[in-house]
């Protein structure tokens, strides 16, 4: 049964984090039962949610994207394909809950940048870059060229505008690649490649998410370019910092108030608290999924015409995805945000602060394995490569990449150097590696950058870094921004190195067979 | 080399390669693993679309004298697994095709997307299960070009093992499916199956 299978898989992915947090929380960084009990309850909800979501993604979102991709290509009309790419990219982004939250936060903190234009700019950015990614496949422009032009443009623009805009731009790049959009965009690419008979089809299956996540960054930097000169930028950075400070504070107050309660009642209370959030989370998820399902419904009537049983399956898949994602978000809110913040602040206040670095590495490595979109990507890669590139290998590589990024971010928290000293070399290295890596792996690498910086990174890792940064007396605004950008950058290098190793061992096997 | 038999081994996903190694040790020259999906035999789970299981299908070609040893190695390699969902069956290749076998393998190759409707109809007609493989149409000389890419049809192949009488009913049911009336949507053919082996824990 697929659900049970998924539950087992997600247990392998999530339980290590739980064990690690529990060990840390009872030894060097005592968190107390008021954090640990809700954490355990939240983890169970999260595992259930993630399994149900992944089952739903397999049944609904992924096949729908794949059928759409293949039908669009089959229709053989360039305007239709580009138009559909634009509309799909725009609609699925504009409803992304993460992006709406980011827009509101940015508006309330800066005052200058309004939420609506920001969200529209980001959605337009994603839409036009999904269209661009489609055009690239049809015209067979090398993937590398698009990446180099895209990133050069970003860094050229970013050097000219205010740092706050750069921070928001990179953040919005991460926020758009949410757990619903990514599987769909990946599947769209796989679908387009699946109708092709040529040998390049496999390597063109991936890379759409990588291009799509350039879009919002360029869009926001352009927005910043257009708006530069208006508003007092010096005050903006400080404002962002204090906003995050305020966001962290309430968690600590609640802590002492509940410390007398026994563990059992605490567990009950946290379940009750979790389900008090249910309607709100469910609404967010539905708002985000509705446009996607709407698009598919439209396509079903006008273009797809899938057979009845299959369409029923896809619809059921969407229902599961909605339920699963709601539970997943409840789980992260209950378990991972408070535990991450608390853990970070306790560890950051320790005398031997260097311990943040190894702990950050280990936590980074295990957290990425619980990222929903990561699972979808690795599954799709395994399937598209006919089982050649195995799921555990990709997961392990991603884990190493993210471990490095979180470790480096912790170094930054302690030593306080600018994120640019890390970001620029990593992106330069990533671009340079595209010349030496098999193209399939370049595409997977740039996809996984967007995929790794999903909801788990932006809740647990971000809270951990912010907590550590506050306790260590750093600047949470810049530290927090840096970590997500880093989580998105290191997989680009890690996966490409894997690709080179893979290529070498494959060549050796081929040589061995030839003898 | 002339092979006389095709062995299909259907096992849970991830076990195909291990069994292939064992068959090689027993004398087979190689093997090919397809990844497919099957369904559990539960009405409720099927209704909820939760009955899917991933499967590996291992295809091994053997000669007359290798057959017994290779089959034994497959039985041996899977002996520790649960009894459910695993089986091996043997299809003769050419020569004197036996028409008096009790079992048949129905293969249906259709455009992608119809597998669920087909499986549903087959089950109503008495099929106990089936395996769905993803496939692609061959590159015809008149493949459609569109900008830099060549477009080929996507296909699904469905393998159903059934007793001779049930097989007829299944074929009828599939032919009558309303969504399969378009000409050229797919083909269906049957092969005789000379032997079926249930794999997994030995019966007590």
Pairwise CA distance, residues B62 & B8, whole Å: 11
3-state percent breakdown (helix, strand, coil) of chain B, nearest 5? 25, 35, 35
Residues of A in Cβ contact (< 8 Å) with B42: 1
Residues of A in Cβ contact (< 8 Å) with B51: 1-2
Q: What is the pLDDT of residue A253?
A: 38
A391 shares contact with chain B (CB less than 8 Å):
no
- Nearest-Cα distance to chain B for A205, in Å, is 13
- Nearest-Cα distance to chain B for A386, in Å, is 7
Q: Give the count of Cβ contacts less than 8 A between chain A and B.
A: 85
The residue in chain B having the minimum alpha-carbon distance to the alpha carbon of residue A391 is B14
User: B122, A167 in Cβ contact below 8 A?
Assistant: no
Judged on CB neighbours under 10 Å (0-12, 13-18, 19+), B111 is middle
A197 shares contact with chain B (CB less than 8 Å):
yes
Taking only the tens of pLDDT, chain A with its 515 residues reads: 678 888 988 888 888 888 888 888 888 778 777 788 888 888 999 999 999 998 998 898 889 999 998 888 888 888 998 999 999 889 888 877 777 777 777 777 677 778 888 888 889 999 999 999 988 888 888 888 999 999 888 888 888 877 777 777 877 777 677 777 888 888 988 888 888 877 778 888 888 988 988 888 888 888 888 776 544 443 344 444 444 444 444 443 344 444 444 666 777 777 777 778 788 888 888 888 888 899 899 988 888 888 888 999 999 999 999 999 899 888 888 888 888 888 888 888 887 778 888 988 998 998 888 888 898 899 889 888 877 888 889 999 999 999 999 999 888 888 877 777 888 899 899 999 999 998 899 999 999 988 888 778 877 888 888 888 888 777 776 666 678 788 888 999 999 999 999 888 888 877 776 55
- Nearest-Cα distance to chain A for B27, in Å, is 18
Which is nearest to A369 in space by CA: A8, A9, A3?
A9
A160 shares contact with chain B (CB less than 8 Å):
no
Instruction: Report the SS3 class of residue B12.
Output: strand
Radius of gyration of chain A (CA): 22
End-to-end CA distance of chain A: 44
Residue with tokens 């996607």: A292
**CA dist B5 → A334, A381, B28, B65, B163 (Å):** 58, 33, 11, 10, 20
**Residue B192's beta-bridge partner residues?**
B104
Rounded to the nearest 5 degrees, what angle is found at the Cα of A246, between the Cα atoms of A461 and A325?
45
End-to-end CA distance of chain B: 40
Q: Are B50 and A3 within 8 A, CB to CB?
A: yes
Q: Which two tokens stand for residue A8?
A: 């087992």
Which is nearest to A226 in space by CA: A161, A164, A173?
A161
Q: Are B136 and A198 within 8 A, CB to CB?
A: no
- Nearest-Cα distance to chain B for A115, in Å, is 40
Instruction: Report the SS3 class of residue B140.
Output: coil
Pairwise CA distance, residues A380 & A451, whole Å: 13
Q: Which two tokens stand for residue B51?
A: 């009955």
A138 shares contact with chain B (CB less than 8 Å):
yes
User: B192, B101 in Cβ contact below 8 A?
Assistant: yes
Pairwise CA distance, residues A333 & B153, whole Å: 45
- Nearest-Cα distance to chain A for B81, in Å, is 16
Q: Are A196 and B152 within 8 A, CB to CB?
A: yes
- Nearest-Cα distance to chain A for B95, in Å, is 32
Which is nearest to A184 in space by CA: A86, A95, A283, A293?
A293
Q: Are A196 and B149 within 8 A, CB to CB?
A: yes
Pairwise CA distance, residues A419 & B117, whole Å: 54
Q: Are B35 and A317 within 8 A, CB to CB?
A: no
Which is nearest to A22 in space by CA: A366, A260, A353, A330?
A366
- Nearest-Cα distance to chain B for A225, in Å, is 36
Which is nearest to A464 in space by CA: A374, A335, A351?
A335
Q: Are B117 and A310 within 8 A, CB to CB?
A: yes
**Facing residue for A195 by CB, picked from B52, B117, B151:** B151
A137 shares contact with chain B (CB less than 8 Å):
yes
Pairwise CA distance, residues A94 & A84, whole Å: 15
Question: How many CB atoms are located within 10 Å of the residue A238 CB?
Answer: 12
- DSSP H or E segment with residue B103: strand B103-111
Sequence-separated (6 or more) residues with CB below 8 Å from residue B203 = B83
Radius of gyration of chain B (CA): 18
Q: Are A383 and B35 within 8 A, CB to CB?
A: yes
Q: Are A1 and B40 within 8 A, CB to CB?
A: yes
Q: Are B54 and A5 within 8 A, CB to CB?
A: yes
- Nearest-Cα distance to chain B for A428, in Å, is 30
Pairwise CA distance, residues B138 & B154, whole Å: 9
pLDDT in tens, B122-132: 999 988 889 99
**Facing residue for A309 by CB, picked from B42, B116, B139:** B116
Residues of B in Cβ contact (< 8 Å) with A70: 112, 154
Q: Are B35 and A310 within 8 A, CB to CB?
A: no
Rounded to the nearest 5 degrees, what angle is found at the Cα of A434, between the Cα atoms of A433 and A439?
130
Q: What is the pLDDT of residue A317?
A: 92
Q: What is the pLDDT of residue A238?
A: 40
Q: Which two tokens stand for residue A377?
A: 């990507």
List own/partner pairs for A337-340 with CB under 8 A and 24 or more apart. Answer: A337/A459, A337/A460, A337/A463, A338/A35, A338/A38, A338/A39, A338/A251, A338/A463, A339/A21, A339/A25, A339/A31, A339/A35, A339/A36, A339/A39, A339/A460, A340/A459, A340/A460, A340/A461, A340/A462, A340/A463, A340/A464, A340/A467
Q: Are A138 and B146 within 8 A, CB to CB?
A: yes
**Facing residue for B146 by CB, picked from A73, A201, A386:** A73
Sequence-separated (6 or more) residues with CB below 8 Å from residue B6 = B59, B60, B61, B90, B91, B92, B93
Q: What is the pLDDT of residue A196?
A: 80
Instruction: Report the SS3 class of residue B156.
Output: strand
**CA dist A288 → A69, A84, A96, A189, B180 (Å):** 21, 18, 5, 21, 35
- Nearest-Cα distance to chain A for B57, in Å, is 13
Q: Are B113 and A313 within 8 A, CB to CB?
A: no
Q: What is the pLDDT of residue B85?
A: 67
Instruction: Report the SS3 class of residue B56.
Output: strand
Instruction: Report the SS3 class of residue B92.
Output: strand
The residue in chain B having the minimum alpha-carbon distance to the alpha carbon of residue A385 is B35
Length of chain A: 515
Q: What are phi and psi of A485, to 5 degrees?
A: -60, -35
The residue in chain B having the minimum alpha-carbon distance to the alpha carbon of residue A314 is B49
**Facing residue for B51 by CB, picked from A1, A137, A310:** A1
Pairwise CA distance, residues B173 & A82, whole Å: 41
The residue in chain A having the minimum alpha-carbon distance to the alpha carbon of residue B138 is A197
- In DSSP notation, A374-439 reads HHHHHHHHHHHTTTSS-HHHHHHHHHHHHHHHHHHHHHHHHH---THHHHHHHHHHHHHHTTTS-H
Give Cα A84 distance to the centre of its chain.
24
- In DSSP notation, A384-398 reads HTTTSS-HHHHHHHH
**Residue B189's beta-bridge partner residues?**
B107
Q: What is the pLDDT of residue A423?
A: 83
Which is nearest to A168 in space by CA: A207, A223, A130?
A223
Residue to mutate among B48, B112, B136, B144, with most A CBs inside 10 A, is B112
Sequence-separated (6 or more) residues with CB below 8 Å from residue B9 = B16, B19, B57, B58, B59, B60, B74, B86, B87, B88, B199
Residues of B in Cβ contact (< 8 Å) with A139: 147-148
Pairwise CA distance, residues A237 & A168, whole Å: 11
Q: Are B148 and A140 within 8 A, CB to CB?
A: yes
Q: Are B150 and A196 within 8 A, CB to CB?
A: yes
The single-letter DSSP state of residue B187 is E
Residues of B in Cβ contact (< 8 Å) with A1: 40, 42, 45, 50-53
């Amino acid at each position: 049964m697929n659900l049970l299978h998924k539950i087992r898989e997600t247990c392998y992915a999530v339980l290590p984090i739980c064990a690690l947090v529990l060990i840390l929380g009872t030894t060097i960084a005592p968190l107390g039962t008021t954090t640990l009990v809700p954490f355990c309850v939240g983890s169970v909800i999260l595992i259930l949610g993630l399994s149900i979501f992944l089952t739903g993604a397999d049944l609904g979102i992924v096949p729908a994207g794949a059928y759409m991709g293949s039908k669009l290509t089959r229709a053989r009309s360039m305007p239709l394909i580009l138009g559909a790419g634009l509309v799909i990219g725009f609609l699925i982004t504009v409803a992304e809950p993460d992006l709406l939250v980011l827009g509101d936060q940015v508006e309330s903190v800066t005052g200058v940048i309004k939420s609506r234009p920001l969200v529209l700019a980001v959605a337009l950015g994603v839409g036009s870059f999904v269209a661009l990614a489609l055009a690239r496949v049809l015209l067979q422009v090398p993937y590398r060229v698009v990446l180099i032009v895209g990133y050069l443009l970003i860094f050229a623009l970013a050097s000219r505008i205010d740092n706050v805009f750069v921070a928001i731009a990179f953040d919005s790049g991460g926020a758009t690649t949410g757990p619903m959009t990514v599987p769909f965009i990946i599947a769209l690419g796989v679908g387009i490649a699946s109708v092709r008979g040529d040998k390049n089809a496999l390597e063109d299956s991936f890379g759409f998410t990588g291009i799509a996540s350039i879009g919002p960054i360029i869009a926001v930097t352009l927005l910043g370019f257009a708006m530069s000169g208006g508003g007092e930028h010096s005050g903006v950075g400080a404002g962002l910092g204090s906003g995050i400070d305020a966001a962290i504070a309430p968690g600590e107050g609640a802590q002492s108030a509940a410390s007398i309660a026994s563990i059992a009642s605490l567990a009950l209370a946290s379940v009750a608290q979790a389900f008090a959030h249910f309607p709100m989370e469910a609404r967010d998820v539905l708002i985000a999924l509705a446009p996607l399902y709407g698009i598919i419904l439209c396509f079903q009537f006008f273009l797809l015409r899938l057979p009845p049983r299959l369409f029923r399956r896809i619809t059921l898949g969407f229902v599961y995805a909605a339920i699963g994602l709601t539970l997943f978000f409840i789980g992260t809110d209950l378990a991972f945000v408070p535990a991450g913040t608390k853990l970070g602040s306790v560890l950051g206040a320790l005398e031997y602060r260097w311990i943040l670095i190894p702990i950050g590495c280990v936590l980074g490595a295990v957290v990425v394995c619980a990222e929903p979109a990561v699972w979808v990507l690795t599954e799709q890669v395994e399937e598209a490569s006919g089982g050649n590139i195995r799921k555990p290998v990709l997961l392990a590589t991603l884990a190493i990449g993210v471990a490095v990024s979180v470790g480096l971010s912790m170094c930054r928290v302690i030593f306080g150097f600018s994120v640019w000293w890390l970001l620029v070399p990593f992106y330069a290295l990533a671009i340079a590696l595209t010349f030496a890596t098999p193209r399939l792996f370049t595409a997977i690498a740039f996809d996984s950058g967007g995929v790794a910086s999903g909801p788990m990174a932006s809740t647990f890792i971000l809270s951990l870094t912010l907590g550590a940064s506050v306790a260590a007396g750093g600047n949470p605004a810049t530290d927090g921004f840096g970590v997500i950008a880093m989580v998105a950058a290191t997989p680009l290098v890690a996966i490409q190195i894997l690709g080179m190793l893979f290529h070498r061992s494959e060549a050796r096997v081929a040589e061995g067979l030839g003898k | 080399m002339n092979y006389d038999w095709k062995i299909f081994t259907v096992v849970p996903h991830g076990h195909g390669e291990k069994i292939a190694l064992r068959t090689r040790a027993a004398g087979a020259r190689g093997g090919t693993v397809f990844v497919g999906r099957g369904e559990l035999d539960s009405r409720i789970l099927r209704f909820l679309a939760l009955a899917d299981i991933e499967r590996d299908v291992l295809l091994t070609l053997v000669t007359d004298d290798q057959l017994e040893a290779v089959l034994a190695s497959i039985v041996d390699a899977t002996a520790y697994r649960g009894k459910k969902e695993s089986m091996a069956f043997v299809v003769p290749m050419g020569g004197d095709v036996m028409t008096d076998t009790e079992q048949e393998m129905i293969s249906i190759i259709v455009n992608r997307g119809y597998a669920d409707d087909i499986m549903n109809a087959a089950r109503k007609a008495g099929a106990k299960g089936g395996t769905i493989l993803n496939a692609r149409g061959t590159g015809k000389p008149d493949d459609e070009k569109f900008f830099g890419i060549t477009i080929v049809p996507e296909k699904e192949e469905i393998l159903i093992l059934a007793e001779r009488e049930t097989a007829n009913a299944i074929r009828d049911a599939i032919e009558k499916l309303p969504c399969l009336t378009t000409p050229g949507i797919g083909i269906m053919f049957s092969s005789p199956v000379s032997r079926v082996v249930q794999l997994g824990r030995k019966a007590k």
